Amino acid sequence: MTIDADPRKALTVRQLLAAENPISVLGEKSIPYKPECVASARGFVRDIARDWGVPEEIREVVELLASELVTNAIVHGRGCRDGLAVHVAVYREGRIMVVEVHDGNRDAPVVAAPGEREESGRGMALVAGLARSWGFRDTRLGKAVFFELLAWP
Ligand SMILES: Nc1ncnc2c1ncn2[C@@H]1O[C@H](COP(=O)(O)OP(=O)(O)O)[C@@H](O)[C@H]1O
Ligand SMILES: [Mg+2]
């Protein structure tokens, strides 16, 4: 099955995969919109990957990409509702791990072209480059950005 390059359509592919593989929720966590909470979200995802036997080199990628999405949610994704948290969910679909980060607005994440900005603008390029696929979808309170990795090869 080919993965569509359009991230808005990638969800359809995900849904197809989910129909073939039952989805397990491995964990969910909410953190406030505070940069100092990125570390605990990162540790949360790392612990899940370790608990479920994801190989170390893949765990490092999971942790890095999750940390980029959570940072983006905090920096770019705040909504207008006070008290709304960033929500992190980790799923298993067969051999695929899905990490989904919910925030409070509907602005689309953008993948910067290589070299476009030196200091910043690398997070989504890392996600797009290292994940098997990624995408985003509208939610009731904003959107969810996700990536998928072959975590159990
Ligand atoms: N969760 C998000 N909500 C809204 N916009 C986002 C989100 N994540 C990324 N973006 C947009 O995509 C751009 C690229 O993200 P990224 O590659 O992580 O670079 P940076 O965060 O350093 O700007 C951001 O500058 C922002 O405009
Ligand atoms: Mg970023």
All structural domains of the chain with their residue ranges: 7-150
Helical spans, DSSP H, in 22-148: 38-51, 56-76, 123-130
Q: Mapping DSSP to helix (H, G, I), strand (E, B) and coil, where does residue 121 land?
A: coil
Ligand 1 residue neighbourhood (C-beta within 6 Å)? 68, 72-73, 75-77, 103, 107, 109-110, 112, 120-125, 145
Q: What is the pLDDT of residue 82?
A: 61
Distance, CA 20 to ligand 2 centroid (Å)? 32
pTM: 0.87
Mean pLDDT over the full length of the chain? 88
Which backbone phi and psi does 121 adopt, to 5 degrees?
A: 80, 20
Distances (CA, A) of 13 to 4, 29, 34, 59, 91: 8, 25, 33, 24, 15
| Topology of domain 7-150, CATH | Heat Shock Protein 90 (3.30.565)
Residue 83 is encoded by which pair of tokens? Answer: 């008290």
- The predicted-structure confidence for 24-43, as pLDDT tens digits, reads as follows 999 999 999 999 999 999 99
